[in-house]
Amino acid sequence: MSQPTVMVVDDDPKILFAFQEVLRTEGYKSVMAKDGEEALGKIAARNPNVIFLDVTMPKLDGLELLKRIKENKELAPVIIITGYGTMQTAIKAMQLGAFEYLTKPLDVAKIREVTQKALASTQSSKISGHQSLYVGDMVEPYELVGSSPTMQEVYKLIGSISTTPNHTSVMILGESGSGKELVSRTIHKTSANANQPFVPINCTALPEPLLESELFGHEKGAFTGAVERKLGKFEIAHTGTIFLDEIGNLSPPLQQKLLRVLQEREFERLGGNASIRVDARFIAATNRDIAADVKKGSFREDLFFRLNVVTVSLPPLRERGEDIPLLANYFMKKYNEQLKKYIKGFSHEAMTLLQRHSYLGNVRELENLIERAVMLTKGEVVLPDSIGEPHPPAHDRVSLPITSQTFSKSRIDLLNMFERQFVSEQLVKHHGNVTAAARASKMTRQNFQRLMTKHRLHAKQFRS
């Protein structure tokens, strides 16, 4: 690979000389320009890989030059340097697309670090080998993504459900952020009634009286404030799909009324007497241990059996780690479109950082990380700095996630989280060398590999 070329634009000869010496020592070619007009000509002739650009210069100042560089579709990352850093200048530089903004004086270590980071952000050879996994041209607003064996089973179950009549109810179980609504929407859009309404209802979003009105509707004068007739969600759904999210939090009186709707397939508006037919499919979802709630008596057993004709159990993201590169690439494409970015992929280090995390917030947490990374990335490649720490550092005490109301299940979930994170961090530290990671862990290689297999971790994921 040829030596990268770094351009420095500054009207101070001492700054140019200092940069030239540092760049020569680091093995880079250098191009120097004393003002913005000279720089424009040299950019076209020399095609630099990185540009350092002073703000205050004669003829053409740094911010105006940065604007022209971006208008000319130059891909080289531009690092703004100034001796008079102000809030306005910093904001304007970043708005114009600067890769970084530095204030003088600059030390050698900082120049070296920023140059390496800028080069890494544009070198496609730095991109993780997982980038080609998601091949869709368009990012659908509601799409299930994953190719792991557990997700393939979910897809097959959705295919079977979508061919059943609408009176077949479905229960979706899964942790918060695992994609329960996406599953329900996929069932709907692949069914024969896909052209009918999909009506989502969050059972915790409204207090009970308002939720009852939302579900059943009301007649004019049914209660104070009911100044006109209102159609409820059950009526609006017609022969489509009703998605009841967080069904485990439904109050006992509403559980009773919902049971009657499922049994009779009809209901009345609040304050009304006319029976209204409901032929929509009911899909309920919860992140609670609903079977345990039935045993405790907080959720009606008869309602549970009415809703739980078919069960879809969504695996948490930590149990399908092989889907992380695919999901990350999918969300990168999504936020490239939304944020008007042109990012090509993730560096090996960034992808390793994403893969080693336990994702207590599941796919939703990964999406938030990728949105942030796309927003902060200035080059073509997402680097670890743009991802940051997936979780804020612990402070006064360690807060452990309680994944189930059942003690034994919650304990098993926590043990699995610990095992996966421990093994991942050892593999990262030893660059995918299983023997070295096992030795450092005071484990036999066989036992270490057993944990890798259990949590679907592969040594090649951790080799840079």
In CATH, what number is assigned to the domain containing residue 353?
1.10.8.60
Is 137 inside any structural domain? no
pTM more than 0.85? no
pLDDT value, residue 432: 84
Mark whether 444 and 326 lie in a shared domain. Answer: yes
Is 127 inside any structural domain? no
pLDDT value, residue 128: 61
Point out the domain boundary residue: 99, 120, 141: 120
pLDDT value, residue 236: 92
Is 140 inside any structural domain? no
Point out the domain boundary residue: 103, 120, 137: 120
Is 418 inside any structural domain? yes
Look at the chain and count its residues: 464
Mark whether 231 and 168 lie in a shared domain. Answer: yes
Q: pLDDT tens string for the chain (464 positions)?
A: 578 999 999 999 999 999 999 999 899 999 999 998 899 989 988 999 999 999 988 888 889 999 999 888 888 899 999 887 777 888 888 888 888 888 888 888 889 999 998 888 876 556 665 554 444 555 566 788 888 888 888 999 999 999 888 889 999 999 989 999 999 999 999 999 999 999 999 888 778 878 888 888 888 877 777 778 888 899 999 999 999 999 998 889 999 999 999 999 998 888 888 889 999 999 999 998 898 899 989 999 999 999 999 999 999 998 888 899 999 999 999 999 999 888 888 988 889 889 888 888 899 999 999 999 999 888 888 988 888 765 544 343 445 667 777 787 778 888 888 888 888 888 888 888 899 899 889 899 888 998 988 888 888 777 75
Mark whether 217 and 257 lie in a shared domain. Answer: yes
| Domain count within the chain | 3
pLDDT value, residue 464: 53
Judge contact between 125 and 55, C-beta under 8 A. Answer: no
pLDDT value, residue 392: 45
Structural domain of 369 = 318-462
pLDDT value, residue 394: 38
Is 435 inside any structural domain? yes
pLDDT value, residue 305: 94
Mark whether 333 and 388 lie in a shared domain. Answer: yes
Residue 274 burial (CB < 10 Å; 0-12/13-18/19+)? exposed
Mark whether 111 and 251 lie in a shared domain. Answer: no
pLDDT value, residue 461: 74
pLDDT value, residue 132: 43
pLDDT value, residue 135: 46
